[in-house]
Structure 1
Amino acid sequence: MTTNSQAQNSANIQFQVSFTQPQAHYADVQMTITNIKKDEITVKMPVWAPGSYLVREFSKNIEGFEVANADKSPVAFEKIKKNAWKINTKGKTSVTVSYRVYAFEISVRTSFIDANHAFLSSTGIFMYPEGSINEPSLVTIIPHKNWTKVSTGLEPVAGKAFTYYAKNFDILFDSPIEVGNQDVFEFNAAGVRHEVAMVGGGNYDKEKLKTDMAKIVEKETAIYGENPNKHYVFIVHHYLSGGGGLEHLNSTVLGARRMGYTDTKTYKGFLSLVAHEYFHLWNVKRLRPVALGPFDYDNENYTTNLWIAEGFTAYYDNLIVQRAGFYTPDEFLSFLEGDINLVYNQPGSKIQPLSDASFDAWIKSYRPNENSSNTTISYYNKGSLIASLLDLAIIHQSKGLQSLDDAMKFAYLEYYKKKGRGYTDAEMKAVFEKFAGENLDQFYKDYINGTENIDFQKYLGYAGLKLVDKTRDSKDPYLGITLSRDGKSVITNVARGSAAWNDGLNVNDEILAINGDRVSDVLAYISNQELGANLDFLINRDGLIKTIKVTLKAVPNKNWQIEQLEKPTPAQKAVLEKWLSL
């Protein structure tokens, strides 16, 4: 095992990050490479951040790239790609690469620097020498004069202030860094020390968070039987209105509403976010699709299994919060209802299979447009539903002795612990078949690789539940548009198969009048019409005035609700009790 003192002597790559102009959103980075034995070195910057499946082109934020010899004389280099610089190192044993990074994008996956703090999302800050992903490195942070703290999952180097060791670049790139005056507190759970860095103020109760977050950690650790960390860091950024999270190897970055902690619904939602990102410690960061590691930081890393990696995690986040006693069983079922209605009513669910949604995340999920709801489905929502089906199937088949927990633990032990690699699609399918006790070829054909409507009645029936259609009178007229909220009646979405879709209303059309009437609330006007009514829409389309004739159709959407069967059998009651820990 490498000690800190050994690390200091063995790392041939050392970084120094400082902040001479934080108010202008810049980080100053120096990368010193020693013990050079090649005539040339190419340094590169990743183009994406693992866990966020979009090529973000981090090198676009680089400026002032320079290279110097040990005596500070300039060294020749050439930019050869969008994210790569080739350096002439012939006759040199060390060089220092200097560059600045502009960081002013608020999200959990991109760096942000201002006068108050610096959040460093490592893939957008640090370069690496090509071919040296497995090399160790040291990172020294020099906080701005007004800042006093650094929070990161990286291993601190003894005796050196704000200096950290990364065994390889995969670890460095998976370790965000918060620099500033964050409010830091700790709690212990599952034998792990947890650090929480609260950034940007808020009305949170530290003692309550310590207790409640610890419950989530314990519940999730119990599923897998072990916690893979000794130290874990939550970096929580507070905003007027914020959310989202991104998982890392032994840390996570969360977005939260600054004054939301005293609102019960918002607070439970925050705990669900904690549960989601923490569950990724196992599902994704260790139990992972084979394509997701080792990473190619230059290109997209394709997998058809994000519905497991993210969708199952989205299922477990609310389930864990319910197991911890924060959600009631009825509240958990209401989330399931929400996913059922979203997936059933989204036109894209009949167009894009779940496996394709995973594979095409790079070009569709993270790049939505006005037509996305008509052509795509979320691997989060539908993947969560698939998890619920398999959970119920396993509990039913095992007569309450096992659940999806057991399948996930088995896969974790088999592929991460025993084989030290990711799983293939076929291997994970075999795991589900093993625990569900049935062949899943048709299940995969219909629900994973196809677009058939899910038979919820079958799976909910295992737990003595049923899905009931509570849809209002289908004679309600339906236009099928979404309007902007800027005071103008501008169309922002047209639903596939709707009256607007069929008769030619377009996104960006401004509705000026209907049947000669100036209308301030278009949707209210439509609701008062008769089914089948023929309406003349006067529109402004790119400065041209047109009349579009539209015939109103019935509302196609369903409103599904989960209800209990009147007389569930003892076996059904047992499944429900196992599922929701009643």
Structure 2
Amino acid sequence: MKNFKPLALAYLILLLMKISTAGAAVVSPKIAYKVTFPEAQAHYVDVEMTVSGLKQASLDVKMPVWTPGSYLVREFAKNIESLTATANGKDVAASKTSKNTWHINTAGISTVVIKYKVYSFEVSVRTSFVDVTHGFLSTTGVFLYPKGMLAQPSTIKIIPYKDWTTVSTSLEKIGGDQFALTAPNFDILYDSPIEVGTQDVFGFDAAGVKYEVAMYGGGNYDKERLKKDMAKVIEAETAVFGENPNKHYTFIVHNRQRGGGGLEHLSSTVLGASREQYGSESGYINFLGLVAHEHFHLWNVKRLRPIVLGPFDYETENYTTNLWIAEGFTAYYQNLIRRHADLYSVESYLGDAVGDINTVENQPGTKVQPLAEASFDAWIKAYRPNENSFNTGISYYDKGAVIGMLLDLEIMNYSGGKQSLDDAMKYMYNTYYKGKKRGYTDAEFKLAFEKFAGKNLDDFYAKYINGLAPIDYNKYLGYAGYKISDQLADSNTPTLGVSASNQPTGKKIVSMVLRDGAGWKDGISVGDEIVSVDGTPVTDMTTLMNGRKVGDKITVTVSRDGKAYNLPVTLLRNNRVQYKAEELPNPTAQQLAVRKKWLKL
């Protein structure tokens, strides 16, 4: 080693000191939450947020406006009250600067404590609910995040209410303490709901993963049967993608008098169920369908996802035209998986598949709104339906499930029953989630479909995804040796073309007017009270058409805004369809191969 001159040596020491100082300056703030329930009876959760290690003049804290998986701006900040900030035991100025942002002066402050209350009294799988029986924390609506710090880890300390004994969540525990949790970043925190209370918890292993089921609200469920059948669902879904990426997974199930719905998360899900539904075979199978749907999302959308759905922007809408894949294909698989797991019969599966077709074809909006547009407009339409939504839109769940079936049959037909939509899904999962470590574009998924279908799908997309062309169902079902026929094709039943709800007073109030139906054409409106037909008081809407035929002219008297109107109406044919699946005679060897692959015979 050569000797340095004194000046050069001094310069080197100074440079090393600067590098050391610069490295020391990059110290990330620490974020910790304490959650308590001093007013659980009034449906409040109290949050104390401590941010330490600050070296900035101000801090903005924000509340997400939506929760991933539920595409609606829900304005969670509306539930926050009494927000204060303190440092060293003294109040610090905290002012609200936007609908979901609080600005805190942290000049000369290294640690700030922010306290606030969250009103939590909305029953759904997407929103928080607290009472004396339990606390369900939908984390996007509970925990503020510091602006610019979404990548920061955080800890959560839960102080349970009175006799609450158990925490169920996919978040990691600190030192084995279930009431002390940690999240590596806010995307994980916001994707990990927390159930606190006295829920009934049981577990099982499936696909090499430990599963926990947390049942709130009681119910007539059979734990041992659920363990066995939920494991079948999980194994069948894992077989689609070839791996189960979790170490552990949590099902949080809210059993109520009437319940439904689910919301997917990265390593957990929240399900809504009716507590007595497990006692009937149809109710039990329907619950397994919900399990299959939400659990399938751990791959499809949580990992294999449209490119805009992560990293998330929690302050505004995240638009995509691909919810027909993310949600629609998941709806298709929820039935297919139950069939592949041998949880219900071929006849039941075909009935459900054709039921999706009936749902799509009986909705006038299918002729108005393309499937890709239904996805893009989810933020303003899907979760905000009105009395005319049935006429103007289509569900990307229902039509997406139908499109998934068509593409599955196309791939199976091309490969002679050797490949299926499973192969396309697995290819996309491996290529984009695992390989490129990002989401996919619409064009990239289309290329994958074409790769496995062995054909260009421009026409398919133009007609069925981006257009409004009638679907040739029998072309695709024919690949498996089936066809559908309309059981109502020869009917000539008249209809008024409206739905009316019975009010407690006995009044018949119009709740929906069917596009291009008799009521639509002749001026009946939503909100009208149907008083009489041809002078006879209406007491039963179900018998209104008795003795009448298509083309009859009737006078419908309605009460509208306190005034009576006599509306001449010409009855039209009820155009409702009721398809049923049937086997084609003398199926070919290829059709039987496709059928065997599709239905796992």
TM class by shorter-chain length? over 0.9
Q: Where does 1:436-475 land on structure 2 (aligned, <5 Å)?
A: 436-471=453-488, 473-475=490-492
Deviation at 1:485, TM superposition (A): 2.9
Deviation at 1:469, TM superposition (A): 1.8
Q: Where does 1:219-298 land on structure 2 (aligned, <5 Å)?
A: 219-298=236-315
In the TM superposition, what whole-angstrom CA distance separates every residue of 1:291-313 from its partner, at most 9, and x where no partner exists? 10010000000000000000000
CA contact (8 A) 2:167 2:178 kept: no
Distance 1:444 1:161, change over 3 A: closer
Deviation at 1:272, TM superposition (A): 0.6
CA distance in 2, matches of 1:473, 1:524: 21
Deviation at 1:523, TM superposition (A): 3.7
In the TM superposition, what whole-angstrom CA distance separates every residue of 1:488-532 from its partner, at most 9, and x where no partner exists? 211000000000000000000001111111121134122421211
> What amino acid does structure 2 have at the position aligned with 1:90?
A
Secondary structure in structure 2 of the residue aligned to 1:462 = helix
Larger Rg: 2
CA distance in 2, matches of 1:307, 1:431: 16
| Paired position in structure 2 for 1:57 | 75
Match of 2:113 among 84, 88, 96: 96
Do residues 321 (structure 1) and 345 (structure 2) align?
Answer: no
> What amino acid does structure 2 have at the position aligned with 1:571?
Q
In the TM superposition, what whole-angstrom CA distance separates every residue of 1:418-455 from its partner, at most 9, and x where no partner exists? 00000000000000000000100010000000011111
Match of 2:527 among 508, 521, 530: 508
Secondary structure in structure 2 of the residue aligned to 1:389 = helix
Match of 1:431 among 448, 452, 457: 448
> What amino acid does structure 2 have at the position aligned with 1:557?
R
Q: Where does 1:293-304 land on structure 2 (aligned, <5 Å)?
A: 293-304=310-321
Do residues 81 (structure 1) and 98 (structure 2) align?
Answer: yes
Per the normalisation by structure 2, the TM-score is 0.94
Match of 1:559 among 559, 578, 582: 578
Do residues 29 (structure 1) and 54 (structure 2) align?
Answer: no
Q: Where does 1:463-502 land on structure 2 (aligned, <5 Å)?
A: 463-471=480-488, 473-486=490-503, 487-502=506-521
CA contact (8 A) 2:213 2:250 kept: yes
> What amino acid does structure 1 have at the position aligned with 2:51?
I
> What amino acid does structure 1 have at the position aligned with 2:50?
T
Do residues 172 (structure 1) and 189 (structure 2) align?
Answer: yes
CA distance in 1, matches of 2:546, 2:303: 51
CA distance in 2, matches of 1:358, 1:188: 35
Distance 1:159 1:530, change over 3 A: closer
CA contact (8 A) 1:482 1:491 kept: yes
> What amino acid does structure 2 have at the position aligned with 1:251?
S
CA distance in 2, matches of 1:531, 1:18: 65
Distance 1:11 1:503, change over 3 A: same
> What amino acid does structure 1 have at the position aligned with 2:556?
F
CA distance in 1, matches of 2:212, 2:33: 24
Give structure 1 regions of 4+ aligned residues with deviation exceeding 4 angstroms.
none
CA contact (8 A) 2:58 2:103 kept: yes
Deviation at 1:145, TM superposition (A): 1.6
| Paired position in structure 2 for 1:5 | none
Match of 2:595 among 556, 572, 576: 576
In the TM superposition, what whole-angstrom CA distance separates every residue of 1:332-365 from its partner, at most 9, and x where no partner exists? 1101111111111210000000000000000000
CA distance in 2, matches of 1:493, 1:312: 29
Per the normalisation by structure 1, the TM-score is 0.97
CA distance in 1, matches of 2:230, 2:332: 18
Do residues 540 (structure 1) and 559 (structure 2) align?
Answer: yes
CA distance in 2, matches of 1:11, 1:402: 51
Consecutive unaligned residues in structure 2, runs of 5 or more: 1-26
CA contact (8 A) 1:476 1:527 kept: no
Consecutive unaligned residues in structure 1, runs of 5 or more: 1-8
CA distance in 2, matches of 1:62, 1:320: 41
CA contact (8 A) 1:478 1:527 kept: no
CA distance in 2, matches of 1:179, 1:489: 44
Q: CA RMSD in A?
A: 1.1
Do residues 16 (structure 1) and 4 (structure 2) align?
Answer: no
CA distance in 1, matches of 2:213, 2:28: 31
Secondary structure in structure 2 of the residue aligned to 1:27 = strand
CA distance in 1, matches of 2:108, 2:177: 31
| Paired position in structure 2 for 1:6 | none
Equivalent residues, number: 573
| Paired position in structure 2 for 1:377 | 394
